[in-house]
Amino acid sequence: MKKIISHTLIAMLLLGCAYVMSPLPTGAFSSQQIQRGAFGDDVIELQARLQYIGFYNGTIDGQFGYGTYWALRNFQEKYGLPVDGIAGNTTKKKLVDVSDYNEQFVKNNINKGNKFTHYGGTPLENQVSKGTGKKKEVQLPAKYSDQDLKLMANAVYGEARGEPYEGQVAVAAVILNRVEHPDFPDTVGGVIFQPGAFTAVDDGQIWLTPNERAKEAVLDALNGWDPSENAIYYFNPITATSKWIWSRPQIKKIGLHVFCI
Amino acid sequence: MNSGPAFMKKIIFVLVYSIAALSIFTYGKTTENKQLSYLLSGQYTDKMTEATKKLEELDTAVKKTLLFKEEEGSARAREDIWRLSSEIKNSVGSLPLDRGFSNSWMNYLGRLGNFAKESERTGNTEEYHKIMTEASKNLRNMADEWEVATSGLIDGSMTIKGWKNQLESVDSAHDWAGMTETVKKNTESDFPLTASEADSQKKKDLEKLTDKNISSDEAIERFKILFPEVSTGSIVVETSKPGSPYPFYHIRFAKDQSIGYIDITEKGGHVLSFLAERPFTESSLDFSVIQKRAEDFLSNSGFGDTVYEEARENNTAWHFVYVRVEPEYNAKVFSDVIHLKIAKDTGNILGMNAMEYIQKEETKKQPIKRINWKEFFHSNVEVINEELAYVENDRLEQRLSHYLTVKMENEGITETYKVVVDTETGEIIETEKQQ
């Protein structure tokens, strides 16, 4: 009997230890540490909780930028935690203890693209107003905007949706190469809508809804990938009618497109 | 059962009804198309008229700057040159013109505007006067040519369809090819490439690579060493086309569900870029694990002279940026960069882009003047981090700079900026607001 009791006690002690040592027992945070550059649900919860207790005044968008970083450091300093701007287990536990998070309210408003805040002490329904109706889907390098991504994804899908992934990234890279080139307009929109530049603009296919693959291809191009190897033109040799395009020095062929300068 | 005449009657009724509906639809569509065509024609005519008018203003602005010996007298007109050339460039970019002409015309206008702006900084009035006198003559000729070429559309004697047909016609009424050649010649004579621009182009074209050529087998071997997890399936190797400024091997691969490519230079076997595509699982590794994978990969692959700069998480992968560190000043060189794309679910390298890293920047020694940041910035600005970095200025020169992270407190909101200041001249090369 004694043995059974001592075994039971040991088992309970071990379970208790496991519970205490577990990565994160409270809240909806995942077990991952959250730091600058992170994006997604963990960051949304982090921002919402920091805002609830008045440390974060920015937009709750799931993007861990400098605004979130300074807010987190201030929180860590106030609560005597190591000040590193990284939300590890200790910081997350403390944050869960001292704040509240209405996940449904926050996620609903993000999905609807509303403007909202999540401060404690004020009724949440008083903290919402109509926004753009769009939610942030990806993180981009600082010099590009969500509008650039959208326009380019439309162009890539309209021009190259049947092409391999590499070919789609290459088409996006050609648009960016033109923006940087002195012979072309200086903006993504200017390049895409330059008369006669892209078939998809002429035949209206640019207005088709792009798929996730086209968006991912554009994201890679915006992050620096250029499978076209610095091309500023491309054409389909089967359908090209312009004689001029054949006079351009060719670099490589990807799928049905020949890329040239 | 239908009787014969009654059935015929019904058929005829349906046919007549269909033809009538079709005619109304066609008429409606034609009218709509015509309206759209008029609208577009109006927009294009407006843009062309605007470009013509601004071209006149630009010509006048250039001449105005030639009136004065002193820089101050022409400062406003120089600003006008920059503004007008930029506005005309925008108009030209949105007009249906001969592609070759449009490209070279935009190039000329851009260089004219940049020269006017840049000359304010250099203060070399003699050189400015010499170049702009020539540019003024060329600009006058171009304005006359432009007026003749666009007169049909501007005075309404030509439709937009007629204009487009004329552009595509072999026997075009206007010699666009001749105009293109003239603008190109003017660009070369008035605003030739500066040494920095030529260097920048050489770097882009990997012109200075002197490494020994490698064979396609050696390129495959390099691929297998760097990316063993995707290089044991099927592989197809092609060489770049003869027009490529730098020859390279284009290797396509497929392994299980991963497909992708890697481009490796023929000279020296350097990786230009690598990208793989595959389905992803929902699981996600911790950032520290992924970052360690990135750094282990770089140090084991001969890129140990790079340091972490930033990372961005997205749905399936992290995009990392690493920059080379130059040992003399322990300064980051932002033009020698490597991008990595790493899968969140497995930590595998999905992409690498090292095109800019291959041919390293030639950096020069440069004096470092002490700057008192408290005097340099407003009192609500705090310098959080200070490093040294080589950064390209707008003249495409690599300058040793103070690379600062600063935060500014304003009514309870903290904003963060990266500020780049030339160590010798104190010029602010760049200020970028951080997200």
Distance in Å, alpha carbon of B3 to nearest chain A alpha carbon:
49
Answer yes or no: do A195 and B312 touch at CB < 8 A: no
| Of B204, B261, B416, Cβ closest to residue A227 | B261
Q: Are residues A34 and A94 in the same domain?
A: yes
| Of B96, B341, B433, Cβ closest to residue A220 | B341
Answer yes or no: do B259 and A261 touch at CB < 8 A: no
Q: Are residues A31 and A102 in the same domain?
A: yes
For B255, the token pair is 């392994």
Q: Are residues A111 and A158 in the same domain?
A: no
Closest Cα in chain B to A255: B252
Q: How many other C-beta atoms can be found within 10 angstroms of the C-beta atom of residue A242?
A: 13
Q: How many other C-beta atoms can be found within 10 angstroms of the C-beta atom of residue A240?
A: 15
Q: Are B300 and B320 a contacting pair, CB within 8 Å?
A: no
* Residue A88 included in any domain: yes
Distance in Å, alpha carbon of B262 to nearest chain A alpha carbon:
9
Answer yes or no: do B93 and A220 touch at CB < 8 A: no
What does the CA dihedral A189, A192, A193, A196 come to, rounded to 10 degrees? 160
Distance between CA A118 and CA A52 in Å, rounded? 6
> Measuring CA to CA, which residue among B167, B168, B138, B170 is closest to residue B153?
B167
Q: Are residues A252 and A150 in the same domain?
A: yes
Distance in Å, alpha carbon of A125 to nearest chain B alpha carbon:
24
Give the CA radius of gyration of chain A. 26
Q: What is the pLDDT of residue A224?
A: 93
Q: Are residues A49 and A155 in the same domain?
A: no
* Residue A248 included in any domain: yes
Q: Are residues A83 and A121 in the same domain?
A: yes
Q: Are residues A159 and A113 in the same domain?
A: no
Residue A14: partners with Cβ closer than 8 Å, 6 or more residues away: none
Q: Are residues A101 and A195 in the same domain?
A: no
Please provide residue A136's backbone torsions phi and psi, each rounded to the nearest 5 degrees.
-75, 125
Q: Which residue has the tokens 């792009």?
A: A210
% helix / strand / coil in chain B, to the nearest 5?
45, 25, 30
Domain that holds residue A110: 26-129
Flag whether pLDDT at A21 surpasses 50.
Answer: no
Long-range contacts of A93-100 (CB under 8 A, 24+ apart): A93/A24, A93/A25, A93/A26, A95/A27, A95/A46, A95/A49, A95/A50, A96/A26, A96/A27, A96/A29, A96/A49, A97/A26, A98/A53, A99/A49, A99/A50, A99/A52, A99/A53, A100/A49, A100/A52
| Of A194, A224, A251, Cβ closest to residue B339 | A224
Q: What is the pLDDT of residue B158?
A: 75
Q: Last residue of some domain: A129, A163, A180? A: A129
Q: Which residues of B23-44 are buried (b: 16+ CB within 10 A; e: fewer)?
A: eeeeeeeeeeeeeeeeeebeeb
| Of B106, B288, B353, Cβ closest to residue A33 | B288
Q: Which residue has the tokens 């900026």?
A: B417
Distance between CA B72 and CA B78 in Å, rounded? 10
Which residues of chain B have a CB within 8 Å of the CB of A224?
Answer: 321, 337, 339, 353
Which residues of chain B have a CB within 8 Å of the CB of A40?
Answer: 313
What is the torsional sign of CA B221, B224, B226, B231? positive
Indicate which CATH number applies to the domain containing A183.
1.10.10.2520
* Residue A16 included in any domain: no
Question: Which of A70, A176, A222 best probes binding to B when mutated, by most B CB atoms within 10 angstroms?
Answer: A70
* Residue A106 included in any domain: yes
Q: What is the pLDDT of residue A12?
A: 56
Q: Last residue of some domain: A73, A95, A129? A: A129
Which residues of chain B have a CB within 8 Å of the CB of A165?
Answer: 259-260, 275, 277
Closest Cα in chain A to B241: A251
Distance in Å, alpha carbon of B377 to nearest chain A alpha carbon:
20
Q: Coil, strand, or helix at residue A251? A: strand
- pLDDT digits over A103-156, tens only? 999 999 998 889 999 999 889 889 988 877 777 889 999 889 889 999 999 999
Closest Cα in chain B to A185: B93
| Of B260, B313, B341, Cβ closest to residue A39 | B313
- pLDDT digits over A175-234, tens only? 999 999 989 998 999 999 998 889 899 888 999 999 999 999 999 999 999 999 999 999
Q: What is the pLDDT of residue B311?
A: 95
The pLDDT mean for chain A works out to: 88
| Of A32, A184, A250, Cβ closest to residue B106 | A184
Which residues of chain B have a CB within 8 Å of the CB of A33?
Answer: 286-288
* Residue A204 included in any domain: yes
Distance in Å, alpha carbon of B111 to nearest chain A alpha carbon:
8
Q: Are residues A161 and A238 in the same domain?
A: yes
Q: Using 50, 70 and 90 to split pLDDT, how confident is the model at A4?
A: low
- pLDDT digits over A219-250, tens only? 999 999 999 999 999 999 998 877 788 889 99
Q: What is the pLDDT of residue B172?
A: 63
Q: Last residue of some domain: A129, A161, A176? A: A129
Answer yes or no: do B94 and A250 touch at CB < 8 A: no
Percent of chain A with pLDDT over 90: 67
Q: What is the mean pLDDT of each run of 10 residues along chain B (435 residues)?
A: 73 87 81 74 80 86 78 74 89 84 88 85 77 86 80 74 73 75 86 82 86 94 94 93 94 94 95 94 91 95 94 94 95 96 94 93 92 91 95 91 93 88 94 89
Answer yes or no: do A138 and B314 touch at CB < 8 A: yes
Section A160-178 average pLDDT: 96
* Residue A114 included in any domain: yes
Q: How far is CA A71 from CA A87, A95, B18, B383, in A?
A: 11, 12, 69, 17
Q: Would you list the DSSP string of B100-117? A: HHHHHHHHHHHHHHHHHH
How many separate helices (H) and strands (E) can be counted in chain B?
Answer: 11, 12
Q: Are residues A191 and A249 in the same domain?
A: yes
ipTM of the complex: 0.85
* Residue A196 included in any domain: yes
Looking only at the bridges linking them, the beta strands covering B381-392 and B398-410 are antiparallel
Q: What is the pLDDT of residue B72?
A: 61
Please provide residue A251's backbone torsions phi and psi, each rounded to the nearest 5 degrees.
-105, -55
> Measuring CA to CA, which residue among B95, B117, B225, B107 is closest to residue B164?
B95
Number of independent structural domains in chain A: 2
Q: Are residues A179 and A96 in the same domain?
A: no
Distance between CA B267 and CA B249 in Å, rounded? 10
Which residues of chain A have a CB within 8 Å of the CB of B433?
Answer: 142
Q: What is the pLDDT of residue B50?
A: 83
Indicate which CATH number applies to the domain containing A107.
1.10.101.10
Answer yes or no: do A229 and B248 touch at CB < 8 A: yes
Q: Are residues A124 and A151 in the same domain?
A: no
Distance in Å, alpha carbon of B272 to nearest chain A alpha carbon:
8
Q: How far, rounded to the nearest angstrom, does the alpha carbon of residue B82 sit from its chain's CA centroid?
A: 20
Q: Are B277 and B288 a contacting pair, CB within 8 Å?
A: no
Distance between CA A42 and CA A107 in Å, rounded? 12
* Residue A48 included in any domain: yes
Q: What distance separates the 2 farthest-apart alpha carbons in chain B?
A: 105
Q: Using 50, 70 and 90 to split pLDDT, how confident is the model at A14?
A: low
| Of B111, B240, B416, Cβ closest to residue A66 | B416
Residue B49: partners with Cβ closer than 8 Å, 6 or more residues away: B154
